[in-house]
Structure 1
């Protein structure tokens, strides 16, 4: 069945698959299908050149397509990743970490190591030594949403 389909579509089947995958990328954006579509188009180009050769069987074409898909996805992710990009706001999506060093007044006393402070418009749970409400404190560390404080 696959052999008959490969023979019927010829080398243009890979081009068709590549274009369908590129169109699917427009519908389902994620910059993933574009690399697999590019691999299909490359196999289609190779098929145009090698179609009449005896070793260019549909199994070989599928293996090359699979290998090119994996390689192109990894290279594409590396090309588009900006993990080492320098930013002017490195703590933009780390709100708790951006509060380290700030000072505040305890809104609720710290009892048994737990209390609350108000920074800007948000109440934050804090951990630290027992202190009465109204004490000025400095945020020393952040662990997710919990902040560790010390009296100043």
Structure 2
């Protein structure tokens, strides 16, 4: 299975740079990186064009919000799509490979979430999202109805089949 990384950006040029640098360090099945820019005016588009010419850039005229991910996922050609917010860093070179491996082990899975660490490097407390103790369950695999769209991986076909994210109201 091949993977694509789709990064959503709006007005966070330096955060986007760090996210793309971390994406470059991924080993394994990363086939392409796509940036969807939501109409930034802070130099983000120019920075991607200049410093990351291998990245596919989709520059939208206005901020479409989270639904702009739909454009990036549709443009990607890989089986697995990793969706990241512009302030999310992949922390090891194997993060995407581990997600792809999870899909291989669980053929019925549509989405895999990444473990989320805070700026201090400690596990983020996501009690609002799932009532399980994150310290105990951080490395466990379990079904959930919560998806953290800014740090997850999905089967592209499943994403497209359900129509992606709702457009902004």
Report the TM-score range of the alignment, normalised by the length of the smaller protein.
Answer: under 0.3
Query: Which structure has the bigger radius of gyration?
Result: 1
- Which gives a bigger RCO, structure 1 or 2 (Cα 8 Å, sep 6+)? 2
Compare the two structures and name the one with the higher helix fraction: 1
Structure 1 length-normalised TM: 0.24
Structure 2 length-normalised TM: 0.22
